[in-house]
Amino acid sequence: MTDETSHGALASASRRRVLDALRAAAGPLDARELAAATGLHANTVRFHLDVLARAGFVTESAAPVGGRGRPRITYSSATPAAGGGYELLAEILAAGIEAGGGAEPAGRAWAEGAPAQGFDDAEARTMALFTELGFDPRRAGDGGIELHACPFLAVARRHPGVVCNVHLGLLRATVEGAADATLTPFARPGVCLARLSATR
């Protein structure tokens, strides 16, 4: 199978509709069921299924029949839907960390550097860190730091115990020695809240 075969299999909007219907289904579907789900003619669906199967996106199997006649041929998606390079990679890593634990230490390890020089430096580093990561941080009126526009929002909603704890680890490593830090995920819709308090 060449790259052109894979890309060509997804070049048709109708073919992608067939594949999406298979991915959304609770189990294998036959051509007639897919025709009903997509609004396409059954012969058109069979043509698309053949192309998708040759490209490796779809598997087919013979379902047993209760009497005489040919077995019912059903189809299933052979590949998961991928939202894009970053999102797929983040999803895989988040699921792996979630299974094995250690999200906050992973964030700490990535952000470790020279200790902050006092509370003001810790606060400035926090603003710089989350600005560079794309969070659009803003100082809240009560002394907290609101984190808007999380670039990992889709994955964070599915794996908050991983993504948010990685961010907590980043935050704590950034302010270590000068401040203690907490992070409240989704303190408001779409906004997380970081709080720093001077180390005693």
Provide the residue range defining the domain that includes 70.
Answer: 3-77
Answer yes or no: do 99 and 175 share one domain: yes
Structure confidence by residue, pLDDT tens digits, 156-167: 888 888 888 888
Average pLDDT over the chain reads 82
**SS3 for the chain, per residue?**
CCHHHHHHHCCCHHHHHHHHHHHHCCCCECHHHHHHHHCCCHHHHHHHHHHHHHHCCEEEEEECCCCCCCCEEEEEECCCCCCCHHHHHHHHHHHHHHHHCCHHHHHHHHHCCCCCCCHHHHHHHHHHHHHHCCCCEEECCCCCEEECCCCCHHHHHHCHHHHHHHHHHHHHHHHCCCEEEEEEEEEECCEEEEEEEECC
Answer yes or no: do 72 and 99 share one domain: no
Answer yes or no: do 94 and 170 share one domain: yes
Residue after which a domain boundary falls, among 55, 77, 99: 77
Whole-angstrom Cα distance, residue 148 to residue 185? Answer: 11
Helix axes 160-175, 119-132, angle to 10 degrees: 140
Residue after which a domain boundary falls, among 77, 99, 128: 77
Instruction: Indicate yes or no: pTM above 0.75.
Output: no
Of the pLDDT bands very low, low, confident and very high (cuts 50, 70, 90), residue 3 is very low
Answer yes or no: do 72 and 103 share one domain: no
Answer yes or no: do 43 and 96 share one domain: no
What pLDDT, on a 0 to 100 scale, did the predictor assign at position 112? 67
